[in-house]
Amino acid sequence: MKSRNMTSIYLYDDNNRMLMLYRIGSRAIKDSYIGTAGGHMEPDEINDPKACVLRELKEEVGLSEDDIENVELRYICLRNKLGELRQNYYFFAKLKNSEADIKSNEGNLKWFNYDEIKTLDMPHTAKYMIRHYIDVGQFDNKLYVGVGNPGKVDFTEMEPFE
């Protein structure tokens, strides 16, 4: 089985809004809404998903780590898509200046209130992950793991231990 390792970052502000990208022309997903930026890991990033997501943020929207705060890996989701194991690392961070004019070379960026996001067309694991984040994850700082199956993604907290 082949695998595809990807990262995404979801930028939010103090007004319960998230900057979502309507991605157009991706080879991995249909045209739909996803996080602010993201993409495939380069070979040297396999053990450092944060480096990947920060590189993608810079390449796709021109933002660096200095433009955001509280960057946290919050979800890792797995899905078997027709024999390809897809592993997604989902990061969240606060955008320091939510009034900045931010553009993407991957599609159209738009701010959404949290209650609007649940209705957007998204890839399978992203759709269930963002719903979980809005209902549960935004209120804690836990790391969750999700396993995707038809019509659902099951989440569990991943606790550190020896």
CA 54/CA 9 separation, integer angstroms: 8
Q: Is 87 within 8 Å of 78 (Cβ atoms)?
A: yes
Answer positive or negative: Cα dihedral of 22, 26, 29, 34: negative
* Residue 74 structure tokens: 């919050």
What is the reported pTM? 0.95
| Number of CB atoms found within 10 A of residue 121's CB | 10
| Ordered structural domains, the chain, with CATH | 2-157 (3.90.79.10)
CA 6/CA 84 separation, integer angstroms: 13
pLDDT (0 to 100) of residue 10: 98
Q: Any idea how long the chain is?
A: 162
pLDDT (0 to 100) of residue 29: 64
Q: Is 10 within 8 Å of 95 (Cβ atoms)?
A: no
Confidence of residue 23 (pLDDT cuts 50, 70, 90): confident
**For residues 46-72, average pLDDT:** 97
Q: Is 36 within 8 Å of 61 (Cβ atoms)?
A: yes
Of 146, 156, 155, the C-alpha closest to 87 is 146
CA 90/CA 101 separation, integer angstroms: 24
CA 131/CA 72 separation, integer angstroms: 17
Average of per-residue pLDDT values in the chain: 94
Confidence of residue 28 (pLDDT cuts 50, 70, 90): low
Q: What is the pLDDT of residues 65-112, one digit of tens each?
A: 999 999 999 999 999 999 999 999 999 999 999 888 999 999 999 999
